[in-house]
């Protein structure tokens, strides 16, 4: 049994269930978001595409808690 990918926002992106969770793809077939829940995948795919459209994504993405330890352990 194969499940067809769900299409969102008139084809702006699709979400497909795979072995590792839910994967979203843009119109050109590029991978966007991989998530364990369909809801999270949809939420972050919409947010990512909206930020890309508005030109805001690079400023929003940042590394937090990168795991560097200073001083003695």
Query: So where are the chain's domains?
Result: 6-53
Q: How many whole angstroms separate alpha carbon 40 and alpha carbon 56? A: 20
Residues 6+ apart with CB under 8 A from 28: none
φ and ψ at residue 57, rounded to 5 degrees? -60, -45
Q: Is pTM beyond 0.75 here?
A: no
What is the chain's pLDDT, residue by residue, as a tens digit (73 residues)?
Answer: 567 888 888 889 999 998 899 999 999 999 999 999 999 999 999 999 998 888 776 655 566 666 667 777 6
From 43, 51, 10, select the one nearest 24 (Cα to Cα): 43
pLDDT for position 62: 61
């Amino acid at each position: 049994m194969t499940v067809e990918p769900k299409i969102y926002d008139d084809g702006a992106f699709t979400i497909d269930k795979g072995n590792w969770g839910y994967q979203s793809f843009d119109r050109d077939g590029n991978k966007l978001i991989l998530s364990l829940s369909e809801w999270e995948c949809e939420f972050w795919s919409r947010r990512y595409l909206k930020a890309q459209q508005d030109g805001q994504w690079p400023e929003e993405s940042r590394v937090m808690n990168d795991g560097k330890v200073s001083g003695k352990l």
